[in-house]
Amino acid sequence: MIEFLSKKLSWIDVDYWFYIFNDLSFVYLILPFFVLELVRYAYQKRLNKNLILDSVANLITFGAFLVTEIILGILALTKLYFWIYQNFSLPHLELNWCTIIACILLADFIYYWEHRAMHRIGIGWATHTVHHSSPHFNMSVAYRFGPLDAILPIVFLFPLVMLGFDPILVLLSELFVQVFQTLLHTEIIGKLTKPVEFIFNTPSHHRVHHGSNRQYWDKNYAGILIVWDRLLGTFEPENEKVIYGISEPIDSVNPIKIFFHGISRFLIKLKQIKGFRNKCLAFIKPPDWVPEAQPLNQKNDTKGF
């Protein structure tokens, strides 16, 4: 087993397996699941105009996100990541199954903190609130992104490059974690067996994460392994029926309003806050933070806190 895990691999091998598990998963898993969800909605008489338009809006926000991600991805991959890799990393690691598995596990742990930051700081929630704003929960919601959702992962993944992991492998590992997350956006699958629910993130755990119920705020940030939440005190099981959405609903299926509503609310808040220092603090403080003795007129979206 050790000999197999340490066997040196070529990029052709790596590209092939990531292609199977990342790219093709849309064809053999995500799309069929979404069709099945639509059939289920129709059977339950829940398939309506709002749900269909919401799903279409989700895909439109994904298109906008993808353009941003491609531009930033090219910049990070060709410039910043490789510059760090060549100048500030530990000895470069060989490409084998052991380093691939290690990179995915570390990327998953980093994803936990990246995801937690998206909820715990003002500018993070200003963009990530888009993902949580749908009152529905299906595969299309996984593709509902905000305008800055492609930026934080780039910053958080620097340590992996500095540890000596190839920048391409790092980005592929992040993508693998994201694809795994996509599969969790469904109501079709109930709770799985206890060992699986204890170790892995599951649809049940992720439904909790999307809940606007007060006890579900700030819970289940995991990507692949739910053990990070269990170890770090942010785990919550699915008990009460989940009500999806955010504390201040946008009540719209307009993709432009959906895509920019978090940023626009944040800018309104900044405008009301007095003092340059306080305005700067709003970027890194929790989204419901306001300076003392400065009550704001705007209702704050505090979901996640």
Would residue 277 count as lying in a domain? no
Q: How confident is the model over 138-184, as pLDDT tens digits?
A: 999 999 999 988 887 788 999 999 999 999 999 899 999 999 999 99
Whole-number percent of the chain with pLDDT over 70:
93
pLDDT in the model for residue 153: 77
pLDDT reading at 300 higher than 80: no
Would residue 302 count as lying in a domain? no
Would residue 266 count as lying in a domain? no
Would residue 129 count as lying in a domain? yes
Dist. CA 195–CA 44, nearest whole Å: 31
pLDDT reading at 2 higher than 80: no
Would residue 63 count as lying in a domain? yes
pLDDT reading at 301 higher than 60: no
Dist. CA 100–CA 59, nearest whole Å: 30
Which one-letter amino acid corresponds to residue 126? A
Distance of CA 146 to the CA centre of its chain: 10
pLDDT band at 26 (very low <50, low <70, confident <90, very high): confident
Q: Helices 11-18 and 167-182 sit at what angle, rounded to 10 degrees? A: 10
Would residue 260 count as lying in a domain? no
pTM to 2 decimal places: 0.91
Q: How confident is the model over 177-199, as pLDDT tens digits?
A: 999 999 999 999 999 999 999 99
Would residue 157 count as lying in a domain? yes
* Signed CA dihedral, 43, 48, 50, 52: sign only: positive
Would residue 288 count as lying in a domain? no
Q: How confident is the model over 223-274, as pLDDT tens digits?
A: 999 999 999 999 999 999 999 999 899 999 999 999 999 999 999 999 999 9
What's the total number of domains in the chain? 1
List the domain range (segments joined by +) for residue 190. 2-232
> Looking at the DSSP assignment, which residues form a beta bridge with residue 244?
211
